[in-house]
Structures are given as C-alpha cells and as structure tokens.
Structure 1
C-alpha cells in the first residue's frame, strides 16, 4: 500500500539522518554536514506533516459526514 511505502521511506530518511549525524565528526567540513542535516531534518518534518495530514483525512471526513 502506498501509505506503508511512504512510512517506510520516512523511516529510511530518519535512519539516514541519524547515521549522518553520528558520522559528522569524521568529515572535514562539519559545518556543511550540519547544514545538510538541518535541511534534511526540515524536509523529513515536512514530509511527516503531510503524511500525518493524509492519514487523518478518513477520520476528518467521517466526523464531517456525521455532523
């Protein structure tokens, strides 16, 4: 199901960000890595917000119909 695939991709992105953060001290330009991590974190949060909004639609619609 598409929702499950999106959830898996989000988890993969979170894991990638965690791995990159753990390896940050190994990079010469740590500031650049920090910038990439911040951008990645913002993108993940944005995707999570859209994912959560999407999965809540059936509940919102059901409440709206029952009013």
Structure 2
C-alpha cells in the first residue's frame, strides 16, 4: 500500500542578483508500507527540538516542583 508523506527536500532556488542558494521545501512523496513504518518509528524516537520544548513548556507550565 502506498502512503503520502510530507518531507523536507533541499531545492536550489535563484536568489537576489541571480545567486543560487539551497533551501528546504516541504514536498509530498509516496512511499511503500515498509518505508512508512520505518519513518514513523524513526519520528517517534527523535528528541524534541527547542521550539517544541518551549511550546510544551507554555502549555503545561513548569510543574509543581
């Protein structure tokens, strides 16, 4: 079975004065079931980023300690 997954793909774009730079753009790709399960497992095991930690801290507060 095919699954649609949004991934960040490096793409080269033209910037100011014709300079080329590489930026990350979000694309939707099709993957098979085995790859989809591996990606989901890898995503669950990744550590939180700084933005996510600050976001969760705002939601749940510092706690009673």
TM > 0.5:
no
Question: Whose strand proportion is higher, 1 or 2?
Answer: 2
Bigger radius of gyration: 2
TM-score scaled to structure 2, two decimals? 0.31
TM-score scaled to structure 1, two decimals? 0.30
Bigger relative contact order (CA 8 A; separation at least 6): 1
